[in-house]
Amino acid sequence: MTSKHILHNFILSIASLGTATSGFSAEPQKLGYSDTPIVPGTQWHVHDGDRPQPRIVTPAAAFSHLAPAPSDAVVLFDGKDLSKWQDAKGREAKWKVEKGYMEVVGGTGSIQTKDKFADFQLHLEFATPSVVKGTGQNRGNSGILLNGMYEVQVLDSYGNKTYPDGQCGALYGWTPPLVNASKPPGEWQSYEIIFESPRWDESGQLVKKANVTVIHNGLVLHHRREYIGDSPHQKVGTFNKKHAPEMFIQLQDHGNPMRFRNIWVRSLGQYDQP
């Protein structure tokens, strides 16, 4: 176990304590909810703070950090401008761009790609704020939302407990990651997200659920994990909103100065087709 890993566990043990009420006693920190619906197929409530915390695994120093885009990829952000992005109303994206990264400007709103994609491989790198403020969901919070519906959570989960289906790498409100692969605040982290869009037939019947594979800093968090629907807060997701396979990619403004860099996407293609 590395010294960094020991420090991580120590921080987690401290973070799990609440405010001391008298003498040497402490009141446990409330992490989530117990009055929300049960997640289908589990015994846990949506955002259940008692759900088991994913085990901590220290990632290698780098995995796909600053990986150049392949020849068939669409570069969504090269560190220079936000020309491939807009806000949710189709207006100019107002996030800050400097030193090769974009940074959330709180209150300007989430941004999303102008183009749409179906069945794709997404590479993205992010850094949570180096100056730690807040705890739980108020610390380094953002998200990658596909079509504004299917979320892979972004959060500072280094020494920062929260409800497990809301920690970094969770399929928000549905399933926690297999492991906690988070790096310390301020360090660059990588996501590889392989997403397959849901499909409906002509009669409106859902014939294929959305599924996703997520690799965080070189560790598999999900492998072809099916979504149960969209990703609402405190509710169970549904596939009630039929939509085309092509979807925009959205980065969430949750009020924290999150940074993103080196974003590219490529179509998965099909077997036996050029």
pLDDT at position 26 over 50 = no
Q: 18-27, 135-144, 229-238, 247-256: lowest mean pLDDT where? A: 18-27
pLDDT of residue 30: 77
Please provide the DSSP assignment of 163-195 as one string.
-GGGSTT-BTTTB--SEE-PPPTTS-EEEEEEE
Instruction: Report the DSSP pairing between strands 20-22 and 25-26.
Output: antiparallel
Summarised one tens digit per residue, pLDDT across range 173-218 is 999 999 999 999 999 999 999 999 999 999 999 999 999 999 999 9
CA angle 183, 189, 194 (to 5 degrees): 125
pLDDT at position 235 over 60: yes
**pLDDT single digits (tens) 38-59:** 999 999 999 999 999 999 999 9
Band the pLDDT of 29: cuts 50, 70, 90. low
Where residue 1 falls among pLDDT bands split at 50, 70, 90?
Answer: very low
Average pLDDT over all residues of the chain = 90
> Is a pLDDT exceeding 60 seen at residue 15?
no
Instruction: Judge whether 140 and 185 are in contact, CB under 8 Å.
Output: yes
Ordered structural domains, the chain, with CATH: 3-267 (2.60.120.560)
The tens digit of pLDDT for each residue in 76-112 reads 999 999 999 999 999 999 999 999 999 999 999 999 9
Q: What percent of the chain has pLDDT over 70?
A: 89
